């Protein structure tokens, strides 16, 4: 008998999470909105799909967001829901996030 944890579907897009992690590894520093926008353009992926994955990674403690001062800013699902306008996320909707995202090495 398998436990319930192994039967759960992933909480985020694992392919996009891998792409984002690879980009972080290449850059060696927290990723910015411009990096996610560039990934979307280069790989013909919707920007909001990438950002949805990044936010889910943060909500579940896999990644963290650091504000412009380098301090970790917690992101919860309610914060993310407030960003969605017309059921899509656009670059203008996340313009307040001027800091960077990185894997949560402590988490």
Q: What are the sequence ranges of the domains in the chain?
A: 11-102
pLDDT at residue 7, rounded to an integer? 62
Please state the rounded mean pLDDT for residues 70-79.
92
Find, among 11, 86, 98, 7, the residue nearest to 54 by Cα. 11
- Name the residue with higher pLDDT: 1 or 43: 43
Confidence of residue 103 (pLDDT cuts 50, 70, 90): very high
Q: Give me the chain's average pLDDT, please.
A: 89
| Residue range 39-70, pLDDT digits in tens | 999 999 999 999 999 999 999 999 999 999 98
What CA dihedral angle connects 69, 65, 59 and 38, to 10 degrees? Answer: 150
pLDDT value, residue 2 = 46
């Amino acid at each position: 008998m398998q436990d319930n944890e192994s039967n759960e579907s992933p909480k985020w897009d694992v392919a996009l999470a891998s792409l984002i992690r690879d980009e972080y590894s290449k850059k060696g520093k927290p990723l910015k909105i411009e990096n996610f926008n560039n990934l979307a353009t280069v790989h013909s992926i919707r920007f909001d799909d990438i950002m949805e994955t990044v936010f889910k990674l943060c909500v579940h403690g896999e990644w963290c967001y650091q504000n412009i001062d380098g301090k970790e800013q917690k992101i919860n699902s309610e914060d993310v829901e407030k960003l969605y306008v017309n059921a899509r996320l656009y670059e203008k909707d996340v313009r307040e996030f001027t800091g960077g995202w990185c894997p949560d090495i402590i988490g």
